[in-house]
Structure 1
Amino acid sequence: MNQPNRFLTTLFLFTVTAIVSSQHADAQQDVQPVRMGCGIMTFDTVPGWGLRPDGNSSIGPTHGSVVIDQEGNIYTSADQGVFVFSPEGQVIHSYLDADYRSLHDMEIREENGEEFIYGARNKNAEGIKFKVKGGDVVLRLPFPEESGLGLKRFNPTAITVAANGDIYLSDGYASNHIFRFDKDGKYLSHFGEKGNGLKQFNTAHGMTLDTRYEPHRLLICDRNHKPKGRLVHYSLDGEFIEEVITGLGNPTSVAIQGDFVSVPDLQGRVVILDKSNTIMSVLGHNADRKQGGSYRVLQKDWIEGVFSGTHGSYWDTHGNLYVQDWNVSGRIMKLVRAK
Structure 2
Amino acid sequence: MKRRTFLKSSLALGATAALTSPFNIIKAANREGEIIGHGDFRYRVNRSWGQLDRTKYPVKDCHEMVMDSRKRLIMITNETKNNILIYDKSGKLLDSWGNRFPGGHGLTLHNENGEEFLYITDYEVKEVYKTTLDGKILLTIKHPKLIGEYADCDKFGPTETCIGPNGDIYVADGYGSQYILQYTAKGEFIRKFGGDSFIKDDKFKQVHGVALDTRDPANPVLMCTERVKNCFKRFTLDGKYIDSIYLPGIYMSRPVFDGDILYSGVCYSALKHHMLTMNSGFVTILNKDNKVVSNPGGTKPVYKGGEPELMVQDQPIFKHCHDVCVDDDKNLYICQWMADGTYPVKLERI
TM tier relative to shorter chain: 0.7 to 0.9
Q: Which residue of structure 2 lines up, in the alignment, with residue 97 of structure 1?
A: 99
Compared CA separation, residues 323 and 281, structure 1 to 2 (3 A): same
Aligned match of 1:78: 77
Q: Partner residue of 1:8?
A: none
Following superposition, the deviation at residue 305 of structure 1 comes to 7.6
Residue 163 of structure 1: aligned partner: 165
User: Kindly tell me: are residues 31 and 310 of structure 1, through their superposed partners in 2, closer, same or farther at Cα, counting changes over 3 Å?
Assistant: closer
Render the CA deviation track for 1:134-193: whole Å, top value 9, x for unaligned.
321101111233353314321111111112100000111111011000000000100001
Give secondary structure in 2 for the equivalent of 1:311.
strand
How many residue pairs match? The answer is 288
Q: 1:217 aligned to 2:226?
A: no
- Is 2:84–2:98's contact at 8 Å kept on the other side of the alignment? yes
Amino acid at match of 2:327: D
Separation in structure 1 between the aligned mates of residue 241 and residue 293 of structure 2, nearest angstrom: 25
Distance 2:321 2:56 in 1: 16
Instruction: Tell me if the contact between 1:312 and 1:325 (Cα under 8 Å) persists in the aligned partners.
Output: yes
Contact kept, 8 Å, 2:35 with 2:44, in 1: the verdict is yes
SS in 1 for 2:147: helix
- Contact conserved, 1:119 with 1:127, CA < 8 A, in 2? yes
Task: Give the Å deviation of 1:56.
Answer: 9.1
SS at match of 2:263: strand
Identity of aligned residues (%): 25
Question: Where does residue 36 of structure 2 map in the other structure?
Answer: 36
Q: CA deviation at 1:57?
A: 9.9
Unaligned runs of 5+ in 1: 1-29, 287-291, 294-303
1:246-291 C-alpha deviation (Å, 9 max, x unpaired): 31421111100011011111121011000111111001239xxxxx
Quickly say closer, same or farther: Cα 1:206–1:223, change in 2 above 3 A: same
- CA distance in 2: counterparts of 1:149 and 1:58, whole angstroms: 37
Q: Given the superposition, is the C-alpha separation of residues 206 and 269 from structure 1 closer, same or farther in structure 2, using an over 3 Å criterion?
A: same
Q: Which amino acid in structure 1 is aligned with residue 318 of structure 2?
A: F
**Would the alpha carbon gap of residues 105 and 319 (structure 1) be closer, same or farther in structure 2, given more than 3 Å must change?**
same
Q: Does 1:249 align with 2:250?
A: yes
Q: Matches of 1:236 and 1:110 in 2, distance apart?
A: 19
Which residue of 328, 338, 341 maps to 1:317? 328
Contact 2:62 2:75 in 1 (8 A): no
Seen in structure 2, the aligned counterparts of structure 1 residues 75 and 178 have a Cα distance that, compared at 3 Å, is: same
Distance 2:226 2:208 in 1: 6
1:43 Cα deviation from its structure 2 partner: 1.2
Please give the TM-score of this superposition, normalised by the length of structure 1.
0.80
The 5 Å alignment of 1:118-133 reads 118-132=119-133
CA contact under 8 A between 1:158 and 1:171: conserved in structure 2? yes
1:10-58 deviation digits (Å, cap 9, x = unpaired): xxxxxxxxxxxxxxxxxxxx97412111221111122300113x79994
2:346 aligned with 1:334? yes
Preserved contact between residue 209 and residue 216 of structure 1 (Cα < 8 Å): yes
Tell me which structure has the larger Cα radius of gyration: 1
Separation of aligned partners in 1, 2:108 and 2:213: 13
1:135 maps to a residue whose letter is: G
Letter aligned with residue 207 of structure 1:
V
Give, as a single letter, the amino acid of the residue that structure 2 aligns with 1:212. R
Checking the alignment, whether the CA contact within 8 Å between 1:250 and 1:265 is kept in structure 2 is yes
Separation in 2, partners of 1:91, 1:63: 15
Structure 1 partner of 2:139: 139
Amino acid at match of 1:201: F
Aligned partners of 2:163, 2:72: CA distance in 1, in Å? 21
The letter for the 1-side match of 2:340 is V
Structure with larger RCO (C-alpha < 8 A, sep 6+): 2
